[in-house]
Copies of this chain bind each other. A is one copy, B any other.
Amino acid sequence: MEPEEFRRAAHELVDWIADFRLRVGDLPVRSRVSPGEVVAALAAEAPESPEPFAAFMSDLDDVVVPGLTHVQHPGHFAWFPSNASLASVLGDIAASGLGALGLSWQSAPALTEVEQVVCDWARRLCGLSDAWRGTISDGASTATLVALLVAREKATGGSQRAGGLQAEDRPLTVYCSEEAHSSVAKAVLLAGYGAANLRLVPQRYPDRGMGPDALDTMMAADVAEGRRPAAVVATSGTTATTAFDPLSDVVQVAHRHGAYVHVDAAMAGAAMMLPEYRHLFEGVEEADSLCWNPHKWVGSVLETSLLYTRRPEDLVNVFATDPSYLRSATDGSVVQYRDWGLPLGRRFRALRLWALLRLDGAEAVRARLRRDLANARWLAEAVRAAPGWEVVAPVPLQTVCVRHVPPGLSGAELDAHTLAWCEAVNSSGKGHLTAATLDGTWMVRVSIGAEATEQVHVDAIWAEMRRQAAAHV
């Protein structure tokens, strides 16, 4: 496609995007398509000749938009927020158009250095000391895997450069909260530790944190039985309830046993931008690495996950390669992000967050987070005050976990009721909630924080929840 044809089409497309954002609140939040419906609507083979741009746009309208669950919708309260803020979209458009290739510093110096700058901007906004160095990965799953690979190699003195994990006699163990994200167990498995060497620490600390005494006991038992604690993944803001592990105590216990500490703050890390919330992260400075995702609450387009370390050399020791075709005169004096993680080539990821922070400004982001936190407090109070309703977990952040308990209902019947009214809300198209289990019982998460969500939308979803719960008794 020639630039002039692109120009015409792109003008049409960006108008369509602006219009889409203006009308997204009128669409059903959860997609109503059936499995296979999108596939059936599309050609089975790529066209030989160019199709008109109008055909592409028609399919966006007729197939793609109805085929999406709209997380930019003000009624999106499912999972966690996934804001693709329009300022960030501009940065992403610039990245696509520039078509830069991050293979090495030399292949795109600005791609590397803007990533350094924007990681540093985010660090300062979070009140983290200048001991931390950051990089952008695609998501927290990758960051956790990276951290557990680093921990594995530190615990073994570099097994990968020798006989691999099999050559190590003493089993390595990893610890996390029983409510840690599924990606932690996945990373433990992928990094080769084995499910048998993952320890789930009970959430018995105040506010459902991982108990440091329980952690200490488990680590000591493993050491006594000849195993070697390699890593603790502490969670700041669990997925189900946004519970916080007590970082100070956890880090102290972990380091006493020689284990690496990675902090998974995928969702909650954004709250470090608010000084009044930093107490939840007390002790983070003593951790070894830290991940949080600006592509969730803060509004950067996916895939923008920040991974910080206090020792980049830990990453380089594990991830560096040095093929002849990537050597250049500047090696040694620059950062080579390919040596900090899994991928070799990367797109210009930093522009997404850079544009967001520049075009919206930090204060507007903080104001939005505070708006959402106030809305969550409001909802939690409303739920607590409503007969038959319970807030089933502390609400340290913007996610309110609730249950509606009709008189006399418990066990499997209560679970069925919970799933029924949640599904009814989701089917209504007016809002989207996530059901999740907590201590073996289903509850419903109302995760506030879509960029478009104002107090009126929280009010509306709460009304819909009460309506549907009453209708499904």
B7 touching A324, Cβ below 8 Å: no
Does A97 sit at the interface, judged by CB under 8 A? Answer: yes
> 8 nearest interchain CB pairs?
A164-B194, A67-B110, A84-B99, A17-B97, A38-B113, A192-B192, A10-B14, A165-B192
Supposing A166-B165, A168-B166 touch, asked if A56 and B358 sit within 8 A by C-beta, the answer is yes
Supposing A3-B18, A87-B1 touch, asked if A194 and B166 sit within 8 A by C-beta, the answer is yes
Closest chain-B Cβ to A294's Cβ sits at a distance in Å of 11
Closest chain-B Cβ to A174's Cβ sits at a distance in Å of 10
B residues less than 8 Å from A197 (CB atoms):
163-164
* Residue of B whose beta carbon sits closest to that of A170: B166
B residues less than 8 Å from A117 (CB atoms):
38-39, 42
* Residue of B whose beta carbon sits closest to that of A239: B325
B51 touching A323, Cβ below 8 Å: no
When the two chains form the complex, which single residue of B33, B181, B192 contacts A166, counting CB atoms closer than 8 Å? Answer: B192
Q: How far is the CA of A39 from the CA of B93 in the complex (A)?
A: 22
Closest chain-B Cβ to A105's Cβ sits at a distance in Å of 7
Q: How far is the CA of A358 from the CA of B48 in the complex (A)?
A: 8
Could you tell me the dominant secondary structure of chain A's interface residues? helix
Q: How many copies does the complex hold?
A: 2
Closest chain-B Cβ to A169's Cβ sits at a distance in Å of 8
Supposing A17-B97, A182-B321 touch, asked if A347 and B301 sit within 8 A by C-beta, the answer is yes
A343 touching B142, Cβ below 8 Å: yes
Interface pairs (27), CB distance under 8 Å: A1-B85, A1-B87, A1-B359, A6-B89, A6-B90, A13-B90, A31-B108, A42-B117, A46-B125, A46-B358, A48-B361, A49-B363, A67-B109, A67-B113, A71-B107, A79-B101, A92-B93, A141-B342, A142-B342, A160-B190, A164-B196, A166-B171, A166-B172, A166-B194, A181-B323, A182-B322, A302-B347
When the two chains form the complex, which single residue of B51, B78, B142 contacts A361, counting CB atoms closer than 8 Å? Answer: B51
| Interface residue tally for chain A (C-beta within 8 Å) | 161
Does A252 sit at the interface, judged by CB under 8 A? Answer: no
B residues less than 8 Å from A92 (CB atoms):
92-93, 96
Stretch of A200-208, A278-286, A432-440 with 4 or more beta carbons under 8 angstroms from chain B: A432-440
Q: How far is the CA of A325 from the CA of B442 in the complex (A)?
A: 10
* Residue of B whose beta carbon sits closest to that of A296: B345
B321 touching A20, Cβ below 8 Å: no
Supposing A31-B106, A68-B98, A361-B51 touch, asked if A11 and B13 sit within 8 A by C-beta, the answer is no
